[in-house]
Chain A
Amino acid sequence: MSRDEIREGLSDILEEVAGVNPDDVADNKSFTDDLDVDSLAMVEVVVAAEEKFGVKIPDDEVANLKTVGDAVSYIEKG
């Protein structure tokens, strides 16, 4: 899956569970500071992303996923 496809899938999840406008989703955007995704919303995003992309995102890894780009890279590595 390409980075663009992953970003698009992530964008759908962010819109569904956190009401994030897809136009605002870009690699350099911070989940908490730019997209208003707080810690509880992030839990929902992670669970949905695991299902959608068939990856495991351990809890101690979630803290490192500060931006959309971080998440795309992590999922890309699979």
Chain B
Amino acid sequence: MTEVVVTGLGATTPLGGDVPSTWEALVAGKSGVNALEEEWAQQLPVRIAAQLAVEPSEVLPRIRLRRLDRSEQIALIASQQAWDDAGLSDDLDRERLGVVFGSGIGGALTLLEQDDILEGTGPRRVSPYTVPMLMPNGPAAVVGLEYRAKAGVHAPTSACATSAEAISWAADMIRVGRADVAIAGGAEAVIGGLPMAGFASMKAMSTRNDDPERASRPWDRDRDGFVMGEGAGALVLERREHAEARGAQIYAVVAGSGLTSDGYDIVQPDPECNGGGRAMRAAIKQAGIDPKSIGHVNAHATSTPVGDMAEVKGVKREIGEHVVLTGTKSMTGHLLGGAGAVESIATILAIRDGVIPPTINLDNPDPELDLDVAANEARKKDLDAAMNTGFGFGGHNAAVLFTKP
């Protein structure tokens, strides 16, 4: 069977403008959450978020910024890093290059900004770039254009499972022979009044406004919801023979992935994690490995009361009690459509370095938490295989299993 490997990584997150700085902060247990000082935030019940550590305006030229939604800007930045990291040559056959890049919500900030212009000064001043900026396939399209990808550009949209799903699709794209190389990832940038108010109305977000760095606390007894973050992650996936022929560095193997749906509720997670568990099982089956060899799961763990504990049940049932969990959203906040990509990068680097980043703020574990979590401090552990999971509103479940190269 065709083996798919990871040869390039890129990210821009609340913890750093690239992968090395993000990884260093994750291992050190730093929080990227801060109080929102902006005026629009002051009327909201939630006034905390994990904003980008490096503004896109510090990286991209002015005219590019002007024509791209913030989610597209960071998709491009993460992909540029991943592309450079992979060291692909200019003569790569573009008909064998694919892109699978998603966003949970799309260009919501552009939509709102242009609506203000429409209401304020009328339709003629609405930007001609409005539609390509707000369409949910925008990040994928921008990345595809940048690298002239011609094997297919796809944009999965499955809320918070989006970019774990993107990695799965991209691996499949290579496995079935549609591409030799694929850029996979996700981006989200919707820290703004309406999206924040919407999530707050659902009571899905933490309201720990007076203590931002301690607001995201997966599996802690006092968790009260997720913290919105913004960011993007990108991975270059490649057919193993293609990577080896050009002498590329190989971070990890995408050994298997699983995609399922709950058929349960539009927003509530299945409390038994049946769908999530089936995604894990499918990934393990595709990889053909013993679940005992999976030493670590970078869990979805958003810091919500129901979801965190449901996933623990799923992991225990499908993988076992030997595994060490972590929830890096405790530090990055919830990057929604960007989460799976950034967390898969953390999972891959955990395998590379033999270090599991901590779950910070786990001061008083939920009494039902009966799995080992790398609480508050990074954990050294040799890893042959590790999994990343992502679950999204709508009942979407994704699990991606990485192994040592």
Contact = CB atoms under 8 A, between A and B. Distances in A.
A41 B67 CA distance: 9
Contact of B63 (A18, A40, A43, A47): A18
A40 B128 contact: yes
A40 B63 CA distance: 13
Contacts of B62: 19
Interface in B50-68: 61-63, 66-67
Nearest to B132: A40
Interface string B110-131: 0000000000000011011100
Interface in B127-161: 127-129, 132
Contacts of A40: 67, 128-129, 132
B66 A17 contact: yes
B66 A47 contact: no
A47 B124 contact: yes
A43 B67 CA distance: 13
A43 B128 contact: yes
A19 B60 CA distance: 13
A12 interface: no
B63 A44 contact: no
A17 B129 CA distance: 12
A19 B61 contact: yes
Contacts of B61: 19
Interface residues of B, number: 11
A11 B44 CA distance: 43
A47 B129 contact: no
Contacts of B129: 40
Interface in B323-345: none
Contacts of A17: 66
A19 B125 contact: no
Interface string B24-43: 00000000000000000000
A17 B62 CA distance: 10
A30 B127 CA distance: 23
A61 to B, nearest CB: 15
Nearest to B129: A40
A25 B62 CA distance: 19
Contacts of B128: 40-41, 43-44
A19 B65 CA distance: 11
A47 B125 CA distance: 7
Q: Which of B61, B67, B132 has the most CB of A within 10 A?
A: B67
Contacts of B127: 44
B124 A19 contact: no
A43 B131 CA distance: 14
B378 to A, nearest CB: 44
A59 to B, nearest CB: 11
A4 B128 CA distance: 28
A47 B117 CA distance: 14
Interface string A29-57: 00000000000110110010000000000
Nearest to A39: B128
A35 to B, nearest CB: 12
Contacts of A19: 61-63
A44 B128 CA distance: 7
A47 B128 CA distance: 10
Contacts of B124: 47
Nearest to A42: B128
Contacts of B66: 17
Nearest to A47: B124
B146 to A, nearest CB: 16
A43 B399 CA distance: 45
Contacts of A47: 124-125
Contacts of B132: 40
Nearest to A44: B128
Nearest to B131: A40
A43 B124 CA distance: 10
A28 to B, nearest CB: 23
6 contacts: A18-B63, A19-B62, A40-B67, A40-B128, A43-B128, A47-B125
Closest 4 CB pairs of A and B: A19-B63, A43-B128, A40-B128, A40-B129
Given A19-B61, A19-B62, A44-B127, 12 more contacts: A17-B66, A18-B63, A19-B63, A40-B67, A40-B128, A40-B129, A40-B132, A41-B128, A43-B128, A44-B128, A47-B124, A47-B125
